[in-house]
Amino acid sequence: MTSTVLKEKILGLFEGMRGKSLITTQDWSLDELIATLELAEDMQKYRFTDKYAYILKDRSFMMFFYNPSVRTRQSFEVAATELGGHALFLEPKSMRLKTAKTAGETVEDAAKVMSRYACGIGIRILEDKVSCYGQGEELLREYAKWSEVPIVSMAHDTFHPCQGLADVMGYRKHIGKNLKGKKLLQVWGHGALCRSWCSVQESLLIGSRFGMDVTVASPPGYDLDPKVIEMTKKNCSLNGSKFEISHDPVECYDDADIVYSRNWMSPNAYRDGEYHKQEEIEKAMKHTDWICDAQKMKHTNNAVFIHPMPIDRGNEVTDEVASGKRSIIYDVAEDRLHVQKAVMALTMSKFFADNR
C-alpha cells in the first residue's frame, strides 16, 4: 500500500478513532484494526525519520503501573518519545487513590483531572492486584467512563489488546497478510508463573476476527472465560472459520500454522477474595506433558512459534523451539512498540485532522 493510499484510508477513519479507548480489540472494527496495523508497519519502515516524529509533540501520556513490566514500560516510553511526546511512569501505591481500605480520590475525580494534563492514560493491572477475575476490566471501563482522553489497556486481568495487535503484525510479516484459514493453536504450557488469561484471550479474539481457524488446547480444568470463548466462536462463525477445543497435548499441533504456547491459571485461582498463586503453580507443574518441544512442532505446517514473554523456558517451551529458526518472539516484542505508536497516533494526536 502506498503512503498516499494509507493516508487516505486513515483519514477516512480518523474522526471515529480520535479519542477512542482501547480496552480490547473486540471493541474496534476490523477496518480500524487493519488501519492500525498498516500504520504500524509504515511507522516501522520510516522509524528514525521525521515522518511521524512530531505527532505527539508537547503531549504527555500517563502510565499507571499496578504491576511491573519489562517490555510494556519500555515500549510505551519509547513510543511516546519517537512520536515527539513524553510518557510518565506512575505507581498507584504512591498516589492518593481511593481503595476499599483507604480514602482518596475516586476514579471519576482522578480521570477528569488527568484528562486536563495528558493526551491519554494507560493502565496495567494483572491477576495478583485484583481479588477476583474481572476487577481489572471493571477498573479500566470505569476510567473510560469518566476520562476525556483515551484509556489504553497496557494489560489487565481480562485482555491485552496491544499484545494482540503485535501478534497479528508478526503473523502478517511471517505467514502473509491474508490470515484467513490459517490455524492458530493456543496451547497451554505447564509453568511456574501462574499467568492471567489476558494475552491468550486477546489472541483468540483478534485471531478469529482475522478469519483464522482457532484451536484452544489445555488439560481438563483450565477453561478460559466462557464469555470470551463465545465471542471467539461467534467471530469464527461470521468468518466461516473453525473453532475447536482439545485436551490432547500432541494431536492439537496437527497442521498448525502458528503455535502460541503459554501457561494460564485455572478458573479456581480466586477463592474467598484471594488469589491462590502457589497452589496454582503446584497444580500446573504436574502436567509435564504440556510443553512445546521440537517433536510436537513436527506435527505442524512448519508453524511459527510465538509467545508474549516472559517465557518460562523448559516448562512452557524448550529452548530449542523458543530460540529456533521459526520463533518470532523477538519480532513480536518489537512490534509492540510500533502498534502502540499507531494506537497513540490515531487516538491521541491532531496530526491526521491537521492533514486533511
pLDDT digits (tens, 9 = 90+) for 267-324: 999 999 999 999 999 999 999 999 999 999 999 999 999 999 999 999 999 999 999 9
Which pLDDT belongs to residue 289?
Answer: 97
Q: Assess if residue 164 is contained within a domain.
A: no
What are residue 304's phi and psi, to 5 degrees? -85, 150
Q: How confident is the model at residue 103 (pLDDT cuts 50, 70, 90)?
A: confident
Helix (H) or strand (E) holding 282: helix 277-284
Q: Is the pLDDT reported for residue 151 higher than 60?
A: yes
Whole-number pLDDT of residue 93: 84
pLDDT of 95 over the 90 cut: no
Residues 205 and 114 both lie in one domain: no
| Kind of pairing between the strands at 258-262 and 274-275 | unpaired
What proportion of the chain, given as a percentage, has pLDDT over 70?
94
What is the average pLDDT score of the chain? 94
pLDDT of residue 239: 97
Mean pLDDT to the nearest integer, 181-204: 96
Region of 194 (left: φ > 0; alpha: ψ -120 to 50; beta: rest) is left
Alpha-helical segments (H) within 285-325: 294-297, 319-322
* Backbone CA torsion sign across 76, 78, 79, 80: positive
Determine the average pLDDT of the residues in 235-243.
98
**Do residues 318 and 291 lie in contact, with contact meaning Cβ atoms separated by under 8 Å?**
yes
The residue among 15 and 164 whose pLDDT is bigger is 164
Q: For residue 222, is it within any domain?
A: yes
Which CATH number does the domain housing residue 185 bear? 3.40.50.1370
Are residues 150 and 229 both part of a single domain? no
pLDDT higher than 90, residue 140: yes
For residues 192 and 247, membership in a common domain is answered with yes
Average pLDDT value for residue range 147-160: 98
Residue 10 has pLDDT above 90, yes or no: no
Q: Do 315 and 190 contact (CB within 8 A), yes or no? A: yes
Task: Give me the helix-helix angle, 135-146 and 107-117, nearest 10°.
Answer: 50
Pull the grid cell for residue 291. Answer: 510443553
pLDDT band at 356 (very low <50, low <70, confident <90, very high): low
| Contact by Cβ (8 Å): 339, 166 | yes
Distance linking the first and last C-alpha atoms of the chain = 19
Do 142 and 208 reside in the same domain of the chain? no
Structural domain contains residue 214 = yes
Q: How many structural domains are present in the chain?
A: 2
Buried (b) or exposed (e) across 28-43, using 16+ Cβ within 10 A? beeebbbbbbbbbbbb
Quote the Cα angle for 32-347-229, to 5°. 50
318 and 199 within one domain: yes
Residue 32 lies in a domain: yes
- pLDDT band at residue 332 using 50, 70 and 90 as cut-offs: very high
Is residue 115, in this structure, part of any structural domain at all?
yes
CA distance 121 to 61: 6
Task: Confirm if 309 and 265 have CB atoms less than 8 A apart.
Answer: no
| Residue 255 backbone zone (phi > 0: left; psi -120 to 50: alpha; other: beta) | left
110 and 219 share one domain:
no
Grid cell digits, residue 184: 492458530
State what percent of residues in the chain have pLDDT above 90.
88
pLDDT of residue 51: 94
Whether residues 320 and 347 share a domain: the answer is: no
Residue 240 has pLDDT above 60, yes or no: yes
pLDDT for res 2: 62
Residue 260 has pLDDT above 70, yes or no: yes
Domain co-membership, 197 together with 296: yes
Q: What is the mean pLDDT of residues 133-156?
A: 98
User: Phi and psi at residue 225, in whole multiples of 5°?
Assistant: -60, 120
Could you tell me where the DSSP H helices lie in the chain?
Answer: 3-17, 30-45, 71-82, 107-117, 135-146, 161-174, 198-209, 226-239, 277-284, 294-297, 319-322, 329-348, 351-354
Inside any domain, residue 64? yes
Convert the pLDDT of each residue in 28-71 to its tens digit.
Answer: 999 999 999 999 999 999 999 999 999 999 999 999 999 999 89
C-alpha cell at 193: 508463573
Q: What is the pLDDT of residue 270?
A: 96
Phi-psi region of 226 (alpha: psi -120 to 50; beta: other; left: phi over 0): alpha
**Which residues does residue 88 pair with via DSSP β-bridges, in sequence order?**
62
The answer to whether residues 311 and 348 belong to one domain is no
What is the spatial distance between Cα 202 and Cα 223, in angstroms, rounded to a whole number?
A: 15
Confidence of residue 92 (pLDDT cuts 50, 70, 90): confident
- Whether residue 235 has pLDDT greater than 80: yes
pLDDT on residue 355:
59
pTM of the model: 0.95
- Asked if residue 154 and residue 19 are part of one domain, the reply reads yes
Residue 12: predicted pLDDT: 73
33 and 142, same structural domain?
Answer: yes
- Give the domain range for residue 276: 169-328
CB 260 within 8 A of CB 218: no
Same domain? For 300 and 342 the reply is no
